[in-house]
Amino acid sequence: MSPDTAGSDHDVFDVIVIGGGPAGENAAHYAINGSDRTAALIEHELVGGECSYWACMPSKALLRPGQILAAARHMHGVEQKINAHGVDAAAVLARRDEFTHRRDDSSQVLWADSVGIDVLRGHARITGECTVAVDGDRPRTLRARHAVVLATGSVAAVPDIPGLRAALPWTSRDATNLVEIPRRVLLVGGGVVACEAATWLRQLGVEELTVAVRGSRLLPRVEPFAAAAVADTFGRHAVDVRFGTEISRVTREDARDTGIGRIHGGPATVQLDDGTTVEVD
């Protein structure tokens, strides 16, 4: 659907949505569905957002093979036939890439176009009432007749711990899009993201896996019995969960930005507030 144009660099839409994740896509669609209204969707990365490429979808794709193998090992009549000691890591990563379309959002852009949403690439900045400036190959100034919707999502927070940022730690994006499988990993936090990552990292072959949890339990927002079941599973799979523990300092002599999902340089030493250290990759 073509927007009204007021000058070559000033475009008018009924609704402007900043952020192309699920919330932004749905907001734009609901705003114009079944009408002649117009919507612009501004996204500087991939349409589909975090869930499609760096969070929910890749994480679930990585979890599923291990879940099936574990279920088969506990199914009478099948368990005797299961000889594999683990998953095929390369095949699991390839399956993950299929689920995320290898971080290619062209199909979601086609969907947006098919329902009348104009997708604009670039960073957006609100410059006035219902006015948005967009950078990119052709900088544009947009105006909304009715509303500007902020659906920018979030980014991973790196704690302000001495040495941590300089060590170039993985964020959840690196974990879900891992290309190289480290031998030793320490996860900070005991929420859903950390617990899912711990599960499939172990299944993929991480040998030494530590989870540092500031509180007294995993998954503080779920029922205690569920958190206890996850903790019990981790214990049976040699995941070292440290409760009531925080990181004091991180040291990495050879930190290198090697790209998303790759090991970021040489080994690192993580000092915990209980006086112990953990060596990681």
pLDDT at residue 249 is higher than 50: yes
Percent of all residues in the chain with a pLDDT value above 90, rounded to a whole number: 88
- pLDDT, one tens digit per residue, over 197-230 is 999 999 999 999 999 999 999 999 999 999 999 9
Outline which parts of the chain fall under CATH 3.50.50.60.
4-48+105-150, 172-280
80 or 130, greater pLDDT: 130
Is the CATH code 3.40.50.2000 the one for domain 172-280? Answer: no
| The two structure tokens encoding residue 100 | 């995320």
pLDDT at residue 10 is higher than 80: no
What's the predicted TM-score (pTM) here? 0.90
Closest of 23, 69, 66 to residue 47, by C-alpha: 23
pLDDT at residue 7 is higher than 50: no
| The two structure tokens encoding residue 30 | 């609901």
CB 90 within 8 Å of CB 129:
no
**Three-class SS of residue 36?**
coil
pLDDT of residue 244: 98
Distance CA 34, CA 28 (A): 12
Cα 125 from chain centre: 24
- pLDDT, one tens digit per residue, over 159-203 is 999 999 999 999 999 999 999 999 999 999 999 999 999 999 999
Distance CA 238, CA 202 (A): 9
For residue 203, list its beta bridge partners.
Answer: none
| Average pLDDT over the chain, rounded to an integer | 94
pLDDT at residue 246 is higher than 70: yes
Distance CA 122, CA 124 (A): 6
Q: For the purposes of burial, counting CB atoms within 10 Å of the CB of 251, is it exposed (0-12), middle (13-18) or buried (19 or more)?
A: middle
CATH number of 4-48+105-150: 3.50.50.60
Distance CA 69, CA 139 (A): 51
Distance CA 82, CA 72 (A): 7
Q: Which amino acid is at 4?
A: D
Distance CA 113, CA 41 (A): 10
Q: For the purposes of burial, counting CB atoms within 10 Å of the CB of 211, is it exposed (0-12), middle (13-18) or buried (19 or more)?
A: buried
Q: What is the dihedral of CA 202, 181, 260, 169, to 10 degrees?
A: 70
Distance CA 220, CA 222 (A): 6
* DSSP single-letter state for residue 113: H
Least confident span in 7-11, 21-25, 95-99, 150-154:
7-11
pLDDT of residue 4: 41
Q: What is the dihedral of CA 186, 188, 191, 197, to 10 degrees?
A: -30
pLDDT of residue 3: 41
Which residues fall within 8 angstroms of residue 2, CB to CB, at 6 or more apart?
38
